[in-house]
Structure 1
Amino acid sequence: MVKIIAVTSRKGGTGKTTVAQETANALDGVLADFDWDEGGATRSWGYRWEKRVESPVLQALAHDRVPRPLKGYRKPMLLPSHPDYATELPEGSVVADSVLRWGEHWGKTLGKEWVVIDTHPGSADLTNALLAIAHVVVAPVPLKEKEMAATEAMVKDLADYPLVLVPYMIPAVPPVSMIRRLENMIAGTPVQVGPFVPYAAAVGRRTKRMAMTAEERPARALLPVVEGLRNVAEYVKEYVS
């Protein structure tokens, strides 16, 4: 059975897309991009929807067929997003059921064991439906006030989901108060905390259209981040198994 990972956040700018892309690459999976904002995975992958006649996903849903993910160089196969998702997608349960069916097809035809879904930020019908089919829900969490407040609300709503919080963009000396706050918000719940991924300014300046985890020799400044992201992928594998 193909395994589904949904990467989510109740707030933008948490590193959700980076975690989704890198996890998909590290697991040699398909990245299904359902975040139609301009800063999403599809843009950074190098795909330009303006140059295409149609959206592969919308066409697949309209004609009951399985879309074929796009191949790329040193990055995961991509099911690209499209701005028309905001108005043209059917209800979330229909999309989620289709993703499950597509994933099984990709497993048989492409040999892919993992599908990583990059969800749209926030809580909405589509995102909630995609979280419901996931074997594990990964939520990057910068240890900052607004991000922590959004995560607390998410934990209350999703405590019975297979939720893993991934502390992300963590400084060399993590704020003790935020670490305690993170521990307190999951106390008494099955929610887990995954590996920490450190902060590196070089991530925000990076322009390469390939996954960091695919580089044979990442820049020295990126090495701790790459190690953290690979640890996240391994943690997810163990969690699901």
Structure 2
Amino acid sequence: MPESLPDLRRAEGVLFDLDGVLTPTAEVHMRAWKAVFDGVFAQWGITPEYTDADYYAHVDGKKRYDGVSSLLRSRNIEIPWGDVNDAPEVDSICGIGNRKNAAFATALRRDGIAPYPGSLALIRQLRDAGIPQGVVSSSKNAEEVLESAGIRDFFTVVIDGKVAERDALASKPAPDMFRAGAVALNVNPGDSVAVEDALSGVASASAAGFSTVVGVDRGAGAAALRAAGATHVVDDLDRLLLHPHTDQENA
């Protein structure tokens, strides 16, 4: 029997992750991370080689520098943290993170980005229903991505990597960012919905008290998303659309 999915129009508010949920920027991030880590691993003779499994386990959904640190620790590599102003060429946690960000920004400005069609349809439906919407993203590029995708105006709240740094919010999977998103949107997590594709993000939303956490399986795996705390799993946000011919609500 098909899984019963939540009606997001009944939610007090909905908070979305960005990369991999609203826009396919997760793919751009993945390519940028791979290019950077392939270079670092080759330069330092690190084994085993970097894989997509490393991305999902150590990088996906986390703040940039935390992702670098987690990945290198998985190979028993310790390097100085450095400073957020480190040049991309510097071999520090911050330098490597800034190297990745430069690669991502170049790709975004060169190629642009468009939202997933199903995601765009859903946020339009929620806007028309008057449901408050926000974005909770570890990326410091979130505002630029939202503007590039033409969807910034759908969201009254954006809690991103810059806000997290300013307000000393711990990286996902800690609950801080989703908790801050609920406060900023002025909604109760227990009556609201979080939508995430990253294991760390699902865990963050669950820990923040969201009773409904929708995992979007873009590669992390449905079982892993459920184990992290997802109450529902879909492969695209168009699964959450309510169409007139299937909506049996009484006015």
Both structures adopt the same fold (TM-score exceeding 0.5): no
Q: Compute the TM-score of the two structures, normalised by the length of structure 2.
A: 0.30
Bigger relative CO (Cα 8 Å, ≥ 6 apart) = 1
Q: Compute the TM-score of the two structures, normalised by the length of structure 1.
A: 0.30
Q: Which structure is larger by alpha-carbon Rg, 1 or 2?
A: 2
Query: Greater strand share, 1 or 2?
Result: 1
